[in-house]
A and B are shown apart, each in its own frame.
Chain A
Amino acid sequence: MSFDFLWQGMGVALLPQNLLIGLIGCFLGTIIGCLPAIGPINGIALLLPIAYTSGLPPESALILLAAVYYGAEYGGRISSILLNVPGDAGAVMTAVDGYPMARRGEAAKALAISGISSFYGGMIAVVAMTFLAVPLSWLAIKFGPAEYFVLMVFAFATLGSMVGHEPVKTLLGCVLGLMLTTIGLDATSGAYRFTFDQPELHDGIEFIILVIGLFSISEVLLMLESQVKGTLKPLAVTGSYPSWAEIRYIWWPSVRATVIGFVIGVLPGTGASVASAVSYTTEKRISDKDGTFGKGDIRGLAAPEAANNAAATGAFVPMLTLGVPGSGTTAVMLGALMLYNIQPGPQLFVEQPKLVGGLIASMYIGNILLLIMNLPMVKLFARMLLMPNWILIPGITALSILGVYTAYSSVMSVLIMFGIGIVGYLLRKLGFDMAPIVLGFVLGKVMEVNFRNALALSGGEFGIFFSSTLSIILWIMAIAIVLVPIWLRRRQAARNRAGQPAA
């Protein structure tokens, strides 16, 4: 395959007009990403008609929309780390280690680390997209319902890493998350489940309502409790940037997470939330020897951020090569291509080299711009935490309400968010972790739908889950990720016993 499209694209992306458009898109995307109300889909949907009617050529319009998209992936982390309010779905796992870092005064470092790992993830994924987009497009076709189901089994197998000293609570959290996915219209049979004739529940519990309730409202209740006890103090903010050693330290976790994120991003219907969840649990499984994940470990922060950005890039692969959007946001971008009468597909790279090349080249440039733009602003963002709690916490509450209300225009949705917040608070007091609930929720719907679709295709024959090479590879990976750590622990224990002198 010739890479002429890339050189032509560089010429397009480096035009002053397109550089400026990319810069504006990155800036808008960062702002859109850090506001939980908007999200990249809405941001792009708002900008699309403006881009079209303003007479921008297709490559410039696509550069603008793509810049907003990956700018939002960068921006989503800001409110996640500082306020425990995830800016978008992909930034939920960022809060798990990012927020504890902010609470101990390392907000600036956490923001910088997440920015750098986003850069790692974004850049590696763009390189992968440049060279592997067309060959990888087969993956999106090869994944049928059975393969998706086994992929979800693999994702659940990685959850073993979340099991702490009270495994029952982790498993209960996971089941509760799964249960929440069963609320609403069952797409396979058209039946309404657990809606109790409430129209607001027909579409189920939306992800953003769940995470804002679980993370943000429960956090406000915990802070209120500390305030009453007199233990809530304004946060300290140290201005420290990560050291070179720390930047090097997050390289391999970021690379691993990028691979996971990119592959999951290529698969239509999974998305950044699944990518960041699986990369976090996998990294925890690999690296968390001292139990520091969840308490502000920079690897736990870097992995989901890299995966989240890699997935955002990976989602372009099926969109450009097959015309199948890999995420909701790329579905809107596909609409943009259609608006310009451009037919996506493998021939797009040959027929529209300026457009594809311009888009890919703009991603290289956009990632660099975002890093340059984000790092100096890290201290500025972190200083937000220096505000007195009587300003900060009403702000968190307002953002939470607005995040849900502007997305769904429904008072009932906001009340559901508060209800989930109360449950989240009670569960946190009981010693439950919120991450397994979110993971169960993220993976549950994809798992059930594909399980049942696969059985519908096979006429109830369970052999379909073992019928393809991809499924078998995924089964082996799922079994290995459960058994290998146990085997390694036993081997280490046996070695330790053998090394101990006899009493």
Chain B
Amino acid sequence: MSDLAQRQRRIGRIAAGVLMAFAVFYGTFGLMIEYSFSSDPIGPRGFPAGLAVALFGLGAWYWLVPGSTEEWPGQEGRIAALTFLVVSAACVLAMDWIGFVPAMLVLMTVIARLFGANWTLALVNGAGQALLWWLMFGPLLGGTLPKGPLGF
């Protein structure tokens, strides 16, 4: 077996293990669902219990036959993905405090940078898109977007 195939097998088995552990977690919490009455004989615990068993069984099958996986990103790829996710989460969390437009300006600029724009283009794109989406979903379509100290 080649190194690549061995690595794929190992990754598949880790995923199968995670899924089986999740099945145990899901099944345990499923059995702890509290309810005062149920008009049907199955109740709210029945379906989750069945699904937990199915997931565990399928997880075991997956562990036995891990199949193939795609190539995973290198360090640079992982850093880029992490940057995207962290900045996205931070901007989304900050939206209610600083407002939609400033949060989107930062996010759009960072994503444009990640996709190869220089700082000037990224900033222009960030400002343009932040205003465009605010105009479209705010005043134009009547959506409720977070307002910061600047009012947008």
Contact = CB atoms under 8 A, between A and B. Distances in A.
A189 B44 contact: yes
Contact of B107 (A178, A223, A397): A397
Which of B29, B58, B59, B69 has most chain A Cβ within 10 Å? B58
Contact of A179 (B26, B80, B117, B126): B26
Contacts of B121: 390
Interface string B121-152: 11001100100010001000111110000000
A426 B19 CA distance: 12
B77 A191 contact: no
Contacts of A229: 73, 77
Contact of A397 (B30, B67, B72, B88): B88
Contacts of A193: 30, 33, 44, 48
A391 B112 CA distance: 7
B117 to A, nearest CB: 4
A430 B41 contact: no
Interface residues of A, number: 64
Contacts of B39: 188-189, 456
Interface residues of B, number: 71
A169 B40 contact: no
Contact of A406 (B72, B74, B111, B143): B143
Given A179-B26, A405-B95, 20 more contacts: A168-B62, A168-B67, A171-B58, A188-B38, A188-B44, A189-B35, A189-B39, A221-B85, A224-B81, A225-B81, A389-B115, A390-B113, A393-B115, A395-B129, A406-B144, A411-B92, A418-B85, A430-B11, A451-B42, A455-B40
27 contacts: A35-B141, A46-B142, A169-B67, A172-B58, A172-B59, A182-B51, A189-B39, A192-B33, A193-B48, A194-B30, A194-B48, A223-B115, A224-B77, A224-B80, A225-B80, A228-B80, A388-B115, A394-B111, A394-B125, A401-B92, A406-B145, A415-B93, A418-B88, A430-B15, A451-B42, A456-B39, A456-B40
Interface of B: 11-12, 15, 19, 26, 29-30, 33-44, 46-48, 51, 54-55, 58-59, 61-62, 65, 67-70, 72-74, 76-77, 80-81, 84-85, 88-89, 92-93, 95-96, 104, 107-108, 111-117, 121-122, 125-126, 129, 133, 137, 141-145
